[in-house]
Chains A and B, each alone.
Chain A
Amino acid sequence: MNTISFGIEVIDENCTGCYRCERVCPTEAMIMVGPKTEALAVVDNDKCIACMRCIDACDDDALRAINREEPIVQDFDPEGVDPEAVKELCRAADMAPSHLVCPCANTTAQEIAVTILNGATSYEELSLRIGVQSGCLMYCSVPLRRLMMASTGNAQDSSKVRRYPDDQSLMDIDPELDARYPLFQIRTEQEWRSREKAEADVDF
């Protein structure tokens, strides 16, 4: 569950049209409107998850956080979702259902899987439904990609956030590398991961 207590306000007279805010917004809440050389930032607070990345990107004091009259509470909805399908999707992405995916929104793999099975097909939709990517933008990026890829073979991203396709996971490592890099105990950890995925169950 994630609570969004803030939105963003644009101070038009300070905006210089640099486009930086648009490029860091994970939900396309922040867009530039107008001819390219004269565009100014415009925010759609219905799509803002209060990650504050736009404020961080702004050098012109053109954005500020504002309190929402009513906080938005984001949560996943397991109603009608087959637990076996959730389990299989997590396994395919090399995670147990309880695997923590987004520490900032305190979201696990099973919650992401449920949301994907409920129709979310992109990073933006996942953010808007359950608040992932609302914090550090670091931890959750690869698990989100793996879960989407395992579901549809595609990890859609319509935002202008820069992404790269790295998505390796423990079970992808060639176990023969154990001989070259014994300190890392590749085979041992792969056995643990296999066991955990086999034994783990969903817990809504």
Chain B
Amino acid sequence: MTITAATTTFNPPVEPPAIMPSVYGPPVRPLRAKDIPGMVSLPVTQLFPDIPPAIHRHDQDGASIRNAAMRALAGVDMTMIKPNQRVNVICSEHGFGIDGGFGYAEMLGAIRDEIVSRTGCQNVKLVVIAWHGRKEPQEFIEYYGLDKRYHGKVVGANPLDAGIEIETVLGPLHGIRTIYNADWIIHTHYNDPREVYAHRAIDRITKPFGMSYARIETRSIFHMQMGPRTGNLIGRAIADSDFVRSKLAFSVVMRTSPDGITGVDADNDLDAVGARTTADMLRSYGKMLALLRSVEDCIPIIDGARWPYYIHAGGMIFGQLFFNGRDWWDLDLPDETADIEHLVGGNVSLGIKALVLNHTLIGLTVLALPMVYPTVIADRAMADVMARDFANADFLEYAEVAEDLFEAVDMARERAGGSNNLICFDGSYGAINLSPSMGEQLLANAPECSRLVDEELLPKYLKQRGLDPVSLGVGSA
């Protein structure tokens, strides 16, 4: 196999975060996408030098994260927590998908230690929520050493668990009982924008209250019964409920950019940290999102420890490339439909020419991928897992299966008319593993994306969300 020679000098591939073994995926792959001959890497700061720099890499110890968490928590009032009370620190699975997940785990551990140190309360429990399978939380607990970080006080939860009714302005909704069975809860989150096509950066900070922390019925309402903007009201309604407000001690947000984890923010005021989170997210990710919308020809290789839509390349999830048919953050663009699935499904990428699946988890519906694009599964082990994917029962009716990753790439290139533009969604932050021609495409498009976001889009995004661009030093508005 050969890859077209580059006219630009690139770095060797970066080592992506290791894949956590899971019963919901294939055996860990013998070959990663970065092992494809000829692959190189492109730092995201070479594309956009003003992307906020990371303070931590997945292969480093967690000291920088712990220090950032301690600094952020220093400004938080914890006096409401008494030594004899119960505290639940609640976290969401996707935090573990950010640059390998150990940074998030370190932040969670630091939160526990600081609460114990400042309040004398020893009964601080971590609730690990995972939406898909009953065994999933335990996998996180073991892999990230969460039981040790929480001195054995850690429990898993998922949306099929027992619920608790929460009275809201929308009527009664249901959270997961395990999350709320304490005197105080600590909301821990991250500002990775993830599925921009669903939340639209509308009130991102409250989203977990309507998703990760909610029973399946409440999540179903968000996905299926609301519109593309009103769906976000579910989380806000729960977060604004008397019940949640009576328990929410403070919130902690792991700040990120496409370069990696950039810091930690924390506040007793949910709306204050929410406004900062939104502004930070819009500023840190706007240019890379614009760049993904500019991609005209590529072959993504899915190769990570999450479901396909949620695996990162240079800090951007594959879903952001797949659903790149419009600017989801520009709220002036009319949706013209109140059917979120219809809207999102109608805006898939025209730039993806074929697709390779090397490693992914099962359980999330991704049947659209092989129905829309030529899709090649890298080998029989991955295909056997997909064959039993209850959420994608007909996947193999549409996808092809190769003998190994290299053959899969050759087949995908052939189906894509000979394209050499490979881009690896392998969990990497800070740099994208890709083929030289893909790197050249991104480098060529980046300057115009940068100008567009600086001069037009970012000031607009901020204003649309009630944030003042001038006070944030953005654009000329």
Binding site for B on A (CB under 8 A): 2-6, 24, 50-52, 56-57, 65, 94, 96, 98-101, 103-106, 131, 134-143, 145-146, 162-170, 172-174, 177, 180-181, 183-186, 188-190, 192-193, 196
Give min CB distance, B419 to chain A, whole Å. Answer: 29
Decide yes or no whether B120 CB sits under 8 A from chain A.
no
- Asked if B226 is at the interface (CB within 8 A of a chain A CB), the reply is yes
A169 touches B466 (CB 8 A): no
Q: Are A104 and B217 in contact (CB under 8 A)?
A: no
CA distance A141 to B159 in the complex (A): 12
Residues of B within 8 A of A56 (CB): 133-135
Interface residues of B (CB under 8 A from A): 131-135, 159-160, 162-163, 165, 169-174, 202-203, 215-221, 223-230, 232-233, 236, 335-339, 341-342, 345, 363-365, 367, 387-388, 390-394, 397, 465-466
Residues of B within 8 A of A186 (CB): 230, 233
Q: When the two chains form their complex, are residues A166 and B174 in contact, meaning their CB atoms are under 8 A apart?
A: yes
The 10 closest A-B pairs by CB, nearest first: A189-B227, A135-B391, A193-B338, A142-B220, A169-B225, A192-B338, A166-B217, A103-B365, A100-B341, A184-B233
Give the distance to chain A from B372, nearest Cβ to Cβ, in Å.
13
Complex Cα spacing A169 to B221, Å: 7
A185 to B231, CA, bound (A): 10
- Taking CB atoms, residues of chain B closer than 8 Å to A168 are 170-171, 173, 221, 225
Partner of B224, one of A2, A143, A192: A143
Q: Which residue of B lies closest to A58 (CB)?
A: B134
Output the least CB separation between B201 and chain A (Å). Answer: 10
Residues of B within 8 A of A166 (CB): 171-174, 215, 217-218, 221
Q: Once bound together, how far apart are the Cα atoms of A138 and B341, in whole Å?
A: 14
- When chains A and B are docked, how far (Å) is the Cα of A174 from the Cα of B171? 10
User: Measured between alpha carbons, how far is A165 from B218 in the docked complex, in Å?
Assistant: 10
Known interface pairs A56-B134, A162-B160, A166-B215. Does A104 touch B391 (Cβ–Cβ under 8 Å)? yes
18 A-B contact pairs sorted by A residue (CB < 8 Å): A52-B388, A56-B133, A96-B339, A99-B224, A100-B345, A136-B363, A136-B364, A141-B216, A141-B217, A164-B163, A166-B173, A166-B218, A167-B221, A168-B170, A170-B230, A177-B233, A188-B229, A189-B226
Complexed CA–CA distance, A18 and B159 (Å):
20
Total residue contacts A-B, CB cutoff 8 A: 168
Docked CA distance A82–B335 (Å)? 32
Given A104-B390, A170-B226, A183-B203, do A164 and B363 touch, yes or no (CB 8 Å)?
Answer: no
Chain B hits for A5, CB < 8 A: 387, 393
Task: Name which residue of chain B comes closest to A99, CB basis.
Answer: B339
Whether B337 contacts A173 by the Cβ 8 Å rule is no
Contact indicator B160/A50 (Cβ below 8 Å): no
- Interface residue from A50, A167, A196 paired with B337 (Cβ < 8 Å): A196
The DSSP consensus for interface residues of chain B is: loop
Q: Which residues of A contact B365 (CB under 8 A)?
A: 103-104, 135-136, 139
When A136-B132, A181-B233 are in contact, do A103 and B341 touch as well, CB less than 8 Å?
yes
Q: Residues of A contacting B217 with CB < 8 Å?
A: 141-142, 145, 163-167
Other than A166-B173, A172-B170, give 13 A-B pairs with Cβ distance below 8 A.
A52-B388, A100-B224, A106-B394, A131-B393, A136-B364, A138-B219, A140-B220, A141-B220, A166-B174, A170-B338, A173-B170, A189-B228, A189-B229
- Tell me if A52 and B390 are in contact (CB < 8 A): yes
Contacts of B170 in A (CB 8 A): 168, 172-173
Are the CB atoms of A164 and B226 closer together than 8 Å?
no
Quote the shortest CB–CB distance from B235 to chain A (angstroms): 11
Q: Which residue of A lies closest to B135 (CB)?
A: A56
Q: Which residue of A lies closest to B466 (CB)?
A: A183
Residues in B whose Cβ lies below 8 Å from that of A137: 160, 216
In chain B, what residue has the closest Cβ to A49? B390
Whether A185 pairs with B229 at a CB distance below 8 angstroms is: yes
Q: Contacts A136-B132, A136-B363 given: A94-B335 contact, CB under 8 Å? A: no
Q: With the chains together, A185 CA to B203 CA distance in Å?
A: 13
Given known A-B contacts A56-B133, A162-B160, A139 and B224 have beta carbons under 8 A apart: yes
Using Cβ atoms and an 8 Å threshold, which residues of chain A touch B465?
183
The contact of A164 among B215, B227, B364, by CB within 8 Å, is B215
Q: Report the minimal beta-carbon distance from B185 to chain A, rounded to whole angstroms.
A: 20
* Chain A neighbourhood of B219, CB < 8 A: 138
Partner of A146, one of B172, B225, B390: B225
List, in ascending order, chain A residues with CB within 8 A of B226's CB.
Answer: 169-170, 189
| A184–B131 CA distance with the chains assembled, in angstroms | 25
Q: Which of B232, B233, B338, B393 contacts A2 (CB 8 A)?
A: B393
**Are A140 and B224 neighbours in the complex by a CB distance under 8 Å?**
yes
B336 contacts A192, C-beta separation under 8 Å: yes
A167: chain B residues at CB < 8 Å are 217, 221, 225
Q: Which residues of B contact A99 (CB under 8 A)?
A: 224, 339, 341-342
Query: Which chain A residues lie closer than 8 Å to B233 at the CB level?
Result: 173, 177, 181, 184, 186
